[in-house]
Amino acid sequence: MEHEDSVKQRLEQRGVSRRDFMKYCTLLSATMGLSSSFIPKIAEALTAPRPPVVYLAFAECTGCAESTLRTMYPWIDTLLLDVISLDYHETIMAPSGEAAEKSLHDTVTKYPGKFICVVDGAIPTAENGIYGMINGKTFLDIAKDICPKALATIAIGTCASYGGVAAAAPNPTAAKSVKDAIGINTLNIPGCPPNPINFVGTVVNYLLFGKLPDVDDKGRPLFAYGQTIHDQCQRRSHFENGEFVTSFASDEAKKGYCLYQVGCKGPETYNNCPVVKFNDGTSWPVQAGHPCIGCSEPNFWDKMSPFYKSL
């Protein structure tokens, strides 16, 4: 009881009502496939001391970082101020240069084996990694130095998970996933970019159970990537009925028929987009009338393209 009171107090100080807070705990428990009896435990996990996180950006476009900023359950300010301690993140951290490097160094030396390392972007390996450098060091050397010292490395986005767009043929810089570039195991949250709820769900899983979630053979958390888009799609009945869109200008498009014949890769793509949708459940590509491009699958830029050609 005492603990609950203190949580309540802290929430109120932050301007978050107990009701709002429980709402996102409920949503997270649903996303993670847990029963409602876990909701109080999630609430407790979210208000414990904050685990240190360093976020390394390599050959990337910052889309994954931006996507993370879009989290609404919890809001990003809650995530940053109350849930985790994001000690290094080039896109939003205050210091630059030497002072920024100090932030990274401090966390790695103060919490060896205890901080979480999140990697965004592929690692160019051609010519010993010269195609990407920070402060005189290649991305390759930085990853080799930092990732093995972490409790776990989470690859956020398809580039860090599998190489992504930088590694698309002919892969000019010999870009590789974190796992392939430095030979460590990573937990992968692919997507281009991934839904922030899958990243937050993974962090909460760690806070709640003290371990990262169970993954499939491609390193992806099963709670998010356990089923195909096709099996969860709102347009699935049109597929079964043989009702297809063949032109974006057609009546069939206006009726919201199945996009299989204009190239949808939903049948071969594992992700939870149709269920959680993006941007606070606003929409997802198939709802917006565009075929799925398979962005959470390894090598999708080559394997799934041409994107408007039927599987």
Partner 1 sequence: MGQRVVIDPITRIEGHLRIEVEITNGKVSNAWSSSMLFRGLEIILQGRDPRDAWLFTQRSCGVCTYVHGLASVRAVDDAAKITIPDNARVIRNLLLGAQFLHDHIVHFYQLSALDWVDVVSALKADPKKTADLAAKVTPAPKSGINDFKATQARLKKFVDSGQLGIFANGYWGSPAYKLPPEVNLLAVEHYLMALRQQARTARMHAIFSGKNPHVQGLVVGGVTCATDLTADRIAEFKYLWAETMDFVNNVYIPDVVAVAGFYKDWGKIGGTTNFLVYGEFPQGPKEPDSFLFPRGAIFKRNVGQVQAVDIGKIEEGVKHSWYEGDKALPPAKGETKPKPGKLDVNDRYSWMKAPRYNGEPMEVGPLARVLVAYGKGHAPTKAAVDGLLKTLAVPQDALFSTLGRTAARALETKIIGEAMEGWMGQLIENVKKGDTKIYQEYQMPDAAMGAGLNDVPRGALGHWIEIKDQKIGNFQLVVPSTWNLGPRCAQDKPGPLEEALMNTPVSDPKRPVEILRTIHSFDPCIACGVHVIDPKTNEVYKFKVV
CB of 72 to partner 1, least distance (A): 6
- Judged by CB under 8 A, which of 14, 144, 149, 236 binds partner 1? 14
205 part of the interface to partner 1, by CB under 8 A: no
Long-range Cβ contacts of 146-150 (<8 Å, 24+ apart): 146/54, 146/56, 146/104, 146/108, 146/117, 147/117, 147/119, 147/178, 147/182, 147/184, 148/182, 148/184, 149/108, 149/112, 149/113, 149/115, 149/117, 150/54, 150/113, 150/115, 150/116, 150/117
| Cβ closest to partner 1, residue 124 vs residue 221 | 124
Q: Which 178-197 positions form the footprint of partner 1 (CB under 8 A)?
A: 192-193
Q: Which 21-60 positions form the footprint of partner 1 (CB under 8 A)?
A: 49-50, 52, 57, 59-60
* Per-residue binder mask for partner 1 (CB under 8 A), 250-269, x = binder: ---xxxx-------------
CB of 108 to partner 1, least distance (A): 13
310 part of the interface to partner 1, by CB under 8 A: no
Q: Which of 174, 162, 170, 163 is nearest to 124 (CA)?
A: 174
CB of 37 to partner 1, least distance (A): 30
146 part of the interface to partner 1, by CB under 8 A: no
CB-CB contact of 226 with 296 (8 Å): no
Question: Rounded to an integer, what distance in angstroms lies between the CA atom of residue 3 and that of residue 9?
Answer: 10
15, 195, 293 from 21: Cα distances, Å: 10, 20, 34
| Cβ closest to partner 1, residue 34 vs residue 64 | 64
CB of 40 to partner 1, least distance (A): 22
CB of 227 to partner 1, least distance (A): 19
CB of 250 to partner 1, least distance (A): 8
Single-letter amino acid code for the residue at 288: A
- Judged by CB under 8 A, which of 33, 112, 148, 172 binds partner 1? 172
| Cβ closest to partner 1, residue 14 vs residue 38 | 14
207 membership: H or E segment, kind and range: helix 196-209
10 phi and psi angles, rounded to 5 deg? -65, -40
298 part of the interface to partner 1, by CB under 8 A: no
